[in-house]
Amino acid sequence: MMDLPESLRSVRALIFDFDGVIVDTEWAIFQTWSELFARHDVELKLETYAQCVGSDHDAWDPKAHLEELCGYALDWDAVLPEKHAASRRLMAGQGVMDGVVEWLDAAQCAGLPVAVASSSSHEWVHGWLTKLELRERFVSLSCRDHVERIKPAPDLFLHAAAQLEVDPAAALVIEDSANGTAAAHAAGMRVVAVPNRVTAHQDFSKAWRRVGSLAELTLADALEPVGR
């Protein structure tokens, strides 16, 4: 284990969001929703759709929004399987997002345990991490199956901190969405925000740092203000 620089000593663990942070799944999902809206001659604005990113359709429901715009009900049992299949085809070739592996390597060298806290299902997150040969890099996965409330509630991050056996204030979160950032902030955690093309317009004023990509800076550089 390497000696921690002064800037890292107040941080005891890292907690990653999954969708949009480790793998860029969110753009494909938005694209297929947008295409579905277009087939019904209505527009899905990115800013409108992004309300549910990092959370679920209780935060904002694209199905209800589409029916409201087009003025009639849809047979979702027929529509959704086709839409989900289209999303999976677009995601099929996705790899790990830039900088993630380097951050995981740096955390390992620094002796910092790492977890995932995701509003997606355990099956989804575990399946992707296994496919990407990253599952063993994470001590635990905290997913929607494990808590009563998902983001923007703090439950997922508090669950992750408990699994890592660290005080929430000693965990640093990597997030891409306003819902996730609000959840981490409510849990008493600091956030490095890494917005993507779906969430770049959102408010990240509660984040500790904001970067365009994890590849832009090292873990130590990202944490430089921590503990000052």
Domain, as residue range, for 186: 6-24+95-222
The whole-number pLDDT of residue 56 equals 77
| 169 and 108 fall within a common domain | yes
Predicted confidence pLDDT, tens digits, the chain (228 residues) = 445 445 456 899 999 999 999 999 999 999 999 999 999 999 999 999 999 998 877 778 999 999 999 999 999 999 999 999 999 999 988 899 999 999 999 999 999 999 999 999 999 999 999 999 999 999 999 999 999 999 999 999 999 999 999 999 999 999 999 999 999 999 999 999 999 999 999 999 999 999 999 999 889 887 765 543
- Domain end marker among 91, 118, 142: 91
* Domain co-membership, 87 together with 100: no
User: Is 19 assigned a catalytic role?
Assistant: yes
* 155 a catalytic residue: no
Which residues lie below 8 Å from residue 157, measured CB to CB, with a gap of 6+? 15, 117, 142, 168, 171, 173, 183, 184, 187, 189
Q: Of the listed 3, 19, 56, 203, which one is catalytic?
A: 19
Q: What is the 3-state secondary structure (H, E, C) of 77-146?
A: HHHHHHHHHHHHHHHCCCCCCCCHHHHHHHHHHHCCCEEEECCCCHHHHHHHHHHCCCHHHCCEEECHHH
Are both 84 and 128 inside the same structural domain? Answer: no
> Domain check: are 86 and 43 in the same one?
yes
Query: Which one-letter DSSP state was computed for residue 168?
Result: G
**Active-site option among 17, 24, 155, 176:** 17
Q: What is the pLDDT of residue 76?
A: 96
pLDDT of residue 223: 72
The CA angle 206-148-181, to the nearest 5 degrees, is 10
Reduced to 3 states (helix: H, G, I; strand: E, B; else coil), residue 222 is helix
